[in-house]
Homo-oligomer: A and B are copies of this chain.
Amino acid sequence: MKKLISQATIDRLPLYFRTLRLMEGEELQIISSDELGRRLDITPEQIRKDLATFGQFGRKGIGYDVHDLRNNIGNILGLHNKWRLAIVGVGHLGGALANYGNFASLGFSVVALLDINKKIIGKRINGIKIENSAVMKEIIAENSVDIGVITVPASEAQIVAENLIKAGVKGLWNFAPIKLSVPTNFPLVNEDLSVGLSALSYHMSKN
């Protein structure tokens, strides 16, 4: 069993992962928590604490092995699974996500697009054909989809979530502004773009 890691630490791990990947590209072999902190604007103390959570200890005065650390963080995040995504609801946001290149750099790939709008069914984004949501079960199975991405209007999100779970996805990433009911412990992450914007508002008001 894995040790429980705090949500805040989990949220920083992909930032570490991406920076370490860039460093590998720069052929850096050893990185200090000071340098990693400078690049990410996180204190070296916080970085050492985060990494110690999963048993990674840099060598004092030397630092961390870039390749090992990147590998370990990737494993903790489960990125080696190369998860396959289906986006349900190919409106503006769904279309933006289908085109969002950052996921690929973390090992995720969008393999299916689904919508109920006949006007867009059959069109392609990045080579992937938009299929009819009516055949969701078949598309999910054929494409070995792991993660269902919900970008339909709030009023349709619950039924889409249920259909995705029935179709066999192992996790849901929900962008609809609604609390979904899913089986206990079913992996679900709600994305709410207003949260970041509200944090910005908070910082602007303090000035």
Residue ranges of A at the interface with B (Cβ–Cβ < 8 Å): 2, 5, 7-8, 10-11, 13-15, 17-18, 39-41, 76-79, 81, 83, 91-93, 95-100, 102-103, 105-106, 108, 146-147, 170-173, 177, 179, 185, 187-189, 191-207
CB distance from A117 to the nearest CB of B (A): 15
Q: Which of B92, B96, B146, B196 contacts A204 (CB 8 A)?
A: B146
Copies in the complex: 2
A182 to B28, CA, bound (A): 26
Given known A187-B207, A205-B78, contact A102–B200 (CB-CB < 8 A): no
Across the interface, A77 reaches (CB within 8 A) one of B11, B146, B201, B207, namely B201
Contact check, B96 vs A92: say whether CB atoms are below 8 A apart: yes
In the complex, chain B residues whose CB is within 8 Å of the CB of A189: 196-197, 199-200, 203
Write the nearest CB–CB distance from A13 to chain B, whole angstroms: 7
B192 touches A14 (CB 8 A): yes
- Contact check: which of B18, B41, B83, B203 meets A171 at CB < 8 Å? B203
Are B200 and A173 in contact, with the CB atoms below 8 A? yes
**A96-B95, A193-B102, A207-B187 are known contacts. Are A77 and B198 too (CB-CB below 8 A)?**
yes
Other contacts beyond A146-B204, A171-B201: 5, CB < 8 A: A7-B8, A8-B8, A91-B96, A96-B96, A187-B200
Instruction: Return chain B residues, CB-CB under 8 Å to A99.
Output: 91-93
- Evaluate whether A191 and B196 lie within 8 angstroms (CB atoms) in the complex, with A92-B99, A95-B92, A170-B207 already known: yes
Contacts of A91 in B (CB 8 A): 96, 99
| Chain B residues with CB below 8 A from A39, complex form | 179
Question: B7, B98, B185: which contacts A207 (Cβ < 8 A)?
Answer: B185
Compute how far the CA of A134 lies from the CA of B207 in the bound complex, rounded to whole angstroms: 29
Quote the shortest CB–CB distance from A78 to chain B (angstroms): 3
List chain B residues, Cβ under 8 A from A193: 97, 100, 102-103, 191
